[in-house]
Structure formats: C-alpha cells, structure tokens
Structure 1
Amino acid sequence: MRLPILIPTLSGLAMAAAGAAHAEGQLNIFNWGEYTNPELIKKFEDTYDIKVTITDFDSNDTALAKARQGGNDFDIVVPSSTFVPIWIAEGLLMETRPDQMENFHNIDPRWVDVSFDPGRHYTVPWQWGTTGVVVDTEVYKGDPNTSSIVLDPPAELVGKINVVPEMGDVMTLAILAEGGQSCTDDMEVLKRVHEKLVAAKPKWLAMDYASVEKFTGGDYAAGLIWSGGGMRIRLEAPRFVYGYPREGYPIWMDNVAVLKSAPNAENAKLFQNFIMDPENAALISAYARYANGISGSEAFMPEDMRDAPEIVIPAEFAEKGEFTPPCSPAVNELYTRIWTDVLK
C-alpha cells in the first residue's frame, strides 16, 4: 500500500524552502569506502550549491566507535540495519522525520515500517543486498550455492579464500548453516558455530574488505562477500559466480541517518530527501551495484542490473535468505566471545 504524504512540519517547510532557494554551505558524509557515486554527489552539489566532503569507514564498529568519541564534523552516517537501533538508543541520531519528507512516498513499501526504525523517523534507505559466496569456476567446479565453500572448504579452495571481517555476517551465515536462527542464544548451536569457525579460519587466506582486483587478479579464488561486490567481480571476470547458500544467508540494508551533533543538519535533511528520488537512488545503485529500496528507480538503472543474478534472487533461493534483525546486547556479547577466538 502506498503511504499518504503527511502534512509537513515547520522544519519540513523550511527545508523545502531552503531547497528551492539553494541551500549553500557544506555537508560531511561518513560512509563505507567505495560506496558513494561521485555523480550523485556532483548532482547534489550543483542542485543545492552545497560542498560535500566524504570520509570513509570500513565497518559498522568503526563508525560507531568514531561517533561515540565525538569531536567530529560529520553530518551523515550510513549504518547497517543491525546497528541502527544502537545508534538510536545511544542518542547519537537526530529524529529527522523522513516520513514527512516530500519524496518519502517513493520508498518501496517493504522498507517503510522496518523493525530497526519503525515508520522511518530517523533513516532512509541507501542500499540493500545479500551476503553470499563468490567462486572462481575455473578453480572450483562444484555447487556455488553452499556456505560450505567458506565454512568447510573443498581442497582446491583451501588457502585461496577471503572472508569479509564483519562479525554479524559471518556469525549469521554459520548459525544458519548449523540449523539455528539469527540472534540465537542456543548454546548448543553456538558451540557448534564456534568449533566450525575456528576450524575453518586456518583454511582462509585472508579476512579483508577485499578489492575487486584481488579476485580478478587471481589472489583469491573464493570468498564470503556482499552481493554488489560479487556483481562487480563478475563484470570484470565472468569466470566468477555469486552463490546463495542453500543453508541460509543474511539479507541486510544500509541506511542514511543524520547525527544529532551534525553541524549542517538542514543540508543533511536535504540529502535524505534527495536520495529518495528514484533517479538519484538509481545513481547510488549504478555505482556500488546493490538494490536501493526506492520504487521506480529500476527505470533509471543500468541495463546490466535489471536481471543480474546478484540482485534478482533466484526463486529457488528466495526463501533461504533471512533479514538479519538487531541482536540483544546479551547475544552480541556471546557472539563477540566467539568472534574474538576466530580472529586470533
């Protein structure tokens, strides 16, 4: 169902007026590396006469730690859905009320009343995707749609695997492989997960946010990776395929939020509204190769994204994906203990 546009608040009216008159000033974005399309930024700068500065982070934990320290000039941050409730609970985000912004009606209904930000009072969609495996079919001829490629690697892949060092993704993949559910506190399941990950780690070559070139250049023959990265690798080297683990795999969403300490809060709100426009959301996706959560953006997508297997989940694996919910502090503590052992 398409949600009605709510009556703008005074701040919403002020924002619209500022946009019409060109806002001027600055905007400082704190985002994942290699995740922001320069064309999108230039269009925003030209539209509002705002100078944008982008600072990269490499993990949700890094971004959160930096924000907790304070002393920065960041206006916008892009946390994953599992971390958004932490940012909100700690009072780090401004309640910007995207649900009252002009372009809010463009959000795909699937992503409107989300558990991590009910009704979207703080965040707007940036991109969403899956966590799966990528495999060089010249090295490995077997089924790519299994988490065993990473968790119990076949001989030809041992020592040639890279795993993204994101605790939530790795833990969820292993838990689902052991028959558990996201955020489980079942100690029997977690014991098996601990044993499996500790045994698998020596068979990996690296735990890194690897570049496409590391795969296409032959450094890695397989990996646990995000779907957009899988697509970029395939486009450069068609011998690679992206697999959806039939044992289960995580689905996630990254979201644009405004820091409570933002020095350019009104410009940040303009940016939130700006990226809910379908044409602008398509620019986001065209760069990093993920879906974006904005209805109508498909019409502006690159042709090679419209039926890409990394974006359009095959029907046989559609029900194997699980949108990863935020876990409780107690569960996160259990996971951190396991993760610490894996990283040793």
Structure 2
Amino acid sequence: MKRLLSATALLLCGTGLAHAEGVLQLYNWGNYTSPELLAKFEKETGIKVTVTDYDSNDTALAKIEAGGHGFDLVVPSANYVPIWVEKGLVTELDQSKLPHFGNIAPEWQNVDWDPGRKHSIPWQWGSVGMAVNTKVYGGDINTSAVFLDVPDELKGKINVVPEMNDVVNLAIWYVGGEACTEDTEVLKKARDALLAAKPDWLSMDYGATERLSNNDWAASVNWNGSTMRARLANPDVKYGYPKEGYTLFMDSVALLSDAKNVDEAYKFLDFIMMPENAAMISAFARYANGITGSDAFMPEDMKTAPEVMIPEEFKASGHFLPTCSPKAQEYLTAIWTELQK
C-alpha cells in the first residue's frame, strides 16, 4: 500500500509501449521502489527497469482496465488482488520459472487473498496508523480519535491521506463496526464521524514523509514505513496504532496478462525473492517484506523500530482488509464521495 509520489522515480511519458528486449515496465506505488535495487538488477541482468508511480489501488486498476498502458508488473494491495484476478488482468505465475519461490516466508505462502501464491509474490507489508509530532501533542496517539475527534492542539494541523479504504474503515472500526460492513447504521455513524471531523483537518494529501519531517503537518493518518522515515528526519514524530482497529496491508507483485516483457518480468520477480534484495526494498521504503532470510541483511534500525515491530498490546487491533462485497464497496464510495465535497 503505500506510498507517496516520488521525485526520484523514473516516469513513463507515453502509453502502448512495445516489447523491447532488456527492458521492464514496473507500475508501482510512488516512493516505494529502491533505486539501488534497480541499479543492481540492471547490472546483473542487463535489464533496465522503468518505474511509473501511482497513488492508489483504484488509480492503478482504472489505468490497467483502460488498456494501452504498456506495463508488465503491478503491485496491488492484498484486498485488491482478488479483483485483479477476477477481472483477468493478471496471469497465473509459472512457479517453475521462479527458483527462489521457496524463499517466501511460510506465513505469506498461502494467504487468503491469493491461495498458494498463484498470482503474486510479496513486495512489502505494514500498517496504517497515526503519525503525530509529540512536541505538538502529548496525549494518546494510539487511537483514531487523533483524526476523528481532533485534539485542540492538532486542529488545523492534521492531514488525512486520501486513501478511501483505509480512512473509511478506520472510522468504521472507531464507531464499533467491522471492515466492509453493509450495516447502514454503522456506516452512518462512520460517515457522520468523518464529516464532523473534517473541518478540523488541514488537508487530505500525500507527502507525509516530507511534511511531517519539516513540521508542515503536526499529524497525519499515515503508513508506518513513511512515518519511520519521517522520524529519522524529525525525532519528535511518533507512530500510533489505533486501539479501535487499524489496517494491515501487504502489497504484492503480479504479472499483467498483457505484459510484453514476460521473460524480463520473471527474472525480476525471482530477483526480489532473494533475501539480500528483499532487504534492499525494505531498507529504502522502511516496510517489512515477506522473504525468509532477509532479516540478516536489514538495516539495524529496522530490527527494533516501533513503526515496524508492532507492540504486543496492539497486535490484535490490526486487520487485513477483506475484499469488500459490491454493496459494501458502493457504501464506502458514497461516504468517500461525500467526504470529498
């Protein structure tokens, strides 16, 4: 998931790119792909990877459905993988072409959203919580009240990342509901909580890493890896796990059904399942990965980072989002549309 627009990413300017031997087109979340990893891959294989950024699952899905995109690999979140599979947009992987497939950690090999890992391999995983400058606000940060019942110290200083599924479900958990609920009473409470809180927000935007680092924002609904990067630049920034419920996510790499550079894609997929290479992905974006043995290559500061190592008391509050029913998704979209007005 996750995920800010990157100034360093290599951008595609056109569409409908043709097959070219020795190139690969990766469609990924912004600020989420290690330049060092790409340089190493090109050096070892001669394949040049071009990265195009997107800022949400819905953006990526719409782009691919429209056709003429020219991409080979995409990195959807867990609850979106079944949608991509059902629509026929990604193809079943030939695991015989992935010698390092066995490096996927046991807990990530047979996941609910992709049984047997037939269509995807792990990229990174993490959580969505509260990033707070504790110099500005010294109260409880392990609650969604930070953005839904905004403390006086944070009014007009808090950002909410514009991620519909994360934000609306945080509100649903806050009012006592379950993710992807169709209970209209619960949904009304969540909607009302969001609409009542919005006047106290400064913005709904991406860019939390930089803006928390330089004190433009005092708080934000944010991803854990982005928050860690902000803390390294600004030690006053801390990460809170909402006790009412918060999102866990895993983004995974899938091969598009209309990919042109298939051989190159398989080489890349196998490359990122090597422990030292998976660790490079994590070292850049500061999220955990799903590859056994990568811990030995991880930066020391990630092995104890509170943004990466979920405190025991908050583990039970973390939930992977299910793939919502069409009716539940319709409700979420309606709430989100109203919130955007």
What is the aligned-residue identity percentage? 56
Supply the distance in 2 between the matched residues of 1:100 and 1:147 (Cα, whole angstroms). 44
Q: Tell me, yes or no, if structure 1 residue 40 matches structure 2 residue 58.
A: no
TM-score by length of 2: 0.92
Supply the distance in 1 between the matched residues of 2:80 and 2:206 (Cα, whole angstroms). 19
Supply the distance in 1 between the matched residues of 2:78 and 2:97 (Cα, whole angstroms). 21
Q: Is the CA contact 1:98–1:273 (under 8 Å) kept in the aligned structure 2?
A: no
Counterpart residue identity of residue 292, structure 2:
S
Tell me how far 1:210 sits from its aligned partner: 1.6
Supply the distance in 2 between the matched residues of 1:44 and 1:51 (Cα, whole angstroms). 8
Tell me how far 1:213 sits from its aligned partner: 2.2
Q: Tell me, yes or no, if structure 1 residue 190 matches structure 2 residue 187.
A: yes
Q: Pairwise mapping of residues 170-249 of structure 1 onto structure 2 (< 5 A)?
A: 170-249=167-246
Supply the distance in 2 between the matched residues of 1:99 and 1:198 (Cα, whole angstroms). 51
Aligned residue in 2 for 1:328? 325
Q: Is the CA contact 2:21–2:261 (under 8 Å) kept in the aligned structure 1?
A: no
Structure 1 portions without partners, runs of 5+ = 1-22
Counterpart residue identity of residue 179, structure 1:
G
TM-score by length of 1: 0.91
Kindly provide the CA deviation profile for residues 236-272 of structure 1, in whole angstroms up to 9, marking residues without a partner as x. 0001100001111110110101111111011111111
Report the more deviating stretch, 40-49 or 128-137.
Answer: 40-49
Q: Is the CA contact 2:77–2:249 (under 8 Å) kept in the aligned structure 1?
A: yes
Kindly provide the CA deviation profile for residues 149-194 of structure 1, in whole angstroms up to 9, marking residues without a partner as x. 0111011101111111111100111111111111111111111001
Equivalent in 95, 109, 113 of residue 112 of structure 1 = 109
Q: Is the CA contact 1:99–1:120 (under 8 Å) kept in the aligned structure 2?
A: no
Q: Tell me, yes or no, if structure 1 residue 122 matches structure 2 residue 119.
A: yes
Q: Pairwise mapping of residues 20-35 of structure 1 onto structure 2 (< 5 A)?
A: 25-35=22-32
Supply the distance in 2 between the matched residues of 1:89 and 1:233 (Cα, whole angstroms). 37
Supply the distance in 2 between the matched residues of 1:34 and 1:98 (Cα, whole angstroms). 28
Q: Is the CA contact 1:144–1:242 (under 8 Å) kept in the aligned structure 2?
A: yes
Aligned residue in 2 for 1:12? none
Aligned residue in 2 for 1:252? 249
Q: How many residue pairs align between the two structures?
A: 322
- SS of equivalent to 1:29: strand
Q: Which segments of structure 1 move beyond 4 Å, counting only runs of 4 or more? A: none
Counterpart residue identity of residue 175, structure 1:
I
Supply the distance in 1 between the matched residues of 2:146 and 2:208 (Cα, whole angstroms). 20
Tell me how far 1:51 sits from its aligned partner: 1.4
Supply the distance in 1 between the matched residues of 2:133 and 2:95 (Cα, whole angstroms). 42
Counterpart residue identity of residue 85, structure 1:
P
Structure 2 portions without partners, runs of 5+ = 1-19
Q: Is the CA contact 2:208–2:220 (under 8 Å) kept in the aligned structure 1?
A: no
Change (3 A) 1:99 1:183: farther
Q: Pairwise mapping of residues 1-344 of structure 1 onto structure 2 (< 5 A)?
A: 25-98=22-95, 101-344=98-341
Supply the distance in 2 between the matched residues of 1:217 and 1:52 (Cα, whole angstroms). 32
Supply the distance in 2 between the matched residues of 1:120 and 1:330 (Cα, whole angstroms). 27
Q: Is the CA contact 1:45–1:51 (under 8 Å) kept in the aligned structure 2?
A: yes
Report the more deviating stretch, 266-275 or 278-287.
Answer: 266-275
Q: Is the CA contact 1:98–1:122 (under 8 Å) kept in the aligned structure 2?
A: no
RMSD of equivalent CA atoms: 1.3
Supply the distance in 2 between the matched residues of 1:144 and 1:194 (Cα, whole angstroms). 22
Tell me how far 1:97 sits from its aligned partner: 3.5
Tell me how far 1:101 sits from its aligned partner: 2.4
Q: Is the CA contact 1:80–1:253 (under 8 Å) kept in the aligned structure 2?
A: yes
Counterpart residue identity of residue 292, structure 1:
N
Kindly provide the CA deviation profile for residues 265-299 of structure 1, in whole angstroms up to 9, marking residues without a partner as x. 11111111111111110000000000011111010
Supply the distance in 1 between the matched residues of 2:132 and 2:242 (Cα, whole angstroms). 12
Tell me how far 1:94 sits from its aligned partner: 1.5
Q: Is the CA contact 1:97–1:122 (under 8 Å) kept in the aligned structure 2?
A: no
Aligned residue in 1 for 2:15? none
Tell me how far 1:61 sits from its aligned partner: 1.0
